[in-house]
Amino acid sequence: MTDASLQPASAPPPACRVERSSVHGNGVFATRDILPGERVIEYAGREISWDEAQARAAAQGGPHNHTFFFSLANGNVIDGGDAGNDARFINHSCEPNCEAIEEEDGTIFIYALHAILQDEELSYSYPLIYEGRHTPAIKRAFACRCGAEQCSGTMLAPKPRQRKPAAPRVKPAEPAMSADRVPGLAAPQNPPPAMPG
Ligand SMILES: [Zn+2]
pLDDT at 137: 87
Taking the centre of ligand 1 as the mean of its atom positions, its distance from the CA of residue 141, in whole angstroms, is 13
The predicted structure's pLDDT at residue 23: 65
- 142 Cα to the center of ligand 1, angstroms: 10
As a whole number of angstroms, the distance between CA 58 and CA 179 comes to 32
Cβ-based neighbours of 167, under 8 Å, separated by 6 or more: 129, 131
Q: How far is the CA of 193 from the centre of ligand 1 (A)?
A: 30
* Ligand 1 centroid – CA 185 distance (Å): 15
Query: Other CB atoms closer than 10 Å to residue 160's CB: what's the count?
Result: 11
CA 154 to ligand 1 center in whole angstroms: 6
For residue range 112-166, list pLDDT tens digits in order.
999 999 999 999 997 677 777 888 988 888 889 899 999 999 988 876 554 444 3
Neighbours of 26 (CB within 10 A): 15
- All structural domains of the chain, each given as residue ranges with its CATH number in brackets, are 14-157+165-180 (2.170.270.10)
Length of the chain: 197
Distance of CA 126 from the midpoint of ligand 1 (Å): 10
* 71 vs 128, residue with greater confidence: 71
Q: What is the CA radius of gyration of the chain?
A: 17
Can you give the pLDDT at residue 12? 73
For the segment 170-196, the average pLDDT, to the nearest whole number, is 37
Tell me, what's the pLDDT at 59?
Answer: 87
Mean pLDDT, the chain, integer: 78
Separation of CA 125 and ligand 1 centre (Å): 9
**Ligand 1 center to 157 CA (angstroms):** 12
Protein residues placing their CB within 5 Å of the ion ligand 1: 94, 144, 146, 151
For the cut 60, the answer to whether the pLDDT of residue 188 exceeds it is no
Name residues whose C-beta falls within 8 Å of residue 156's C-beta, 6 or more positions apart in sequence: 128, 130, 134, 138, 139, 142
Q: What is the pLDDT of residue 182?
A: 34
Identify the CA nearest to 15 among candidates 42, 47, 51: 42
Question: What pLDDT, on the 0 to 100 scale, is given for residue 64?
Answer: 63
Could you report the per-residue pLDDT of 73-123, keeping only the tens digit for each? Answer: 999 999 999 999 999 999 999 999 999 999 999 999 999 999 999 999 999
Give the separation between CA 32 and CA 17, rounded to whole angstroms. 10
CB proximity list for 157: less than 8 A, separation 6 or greater: 127, 128, 129, 130, 184
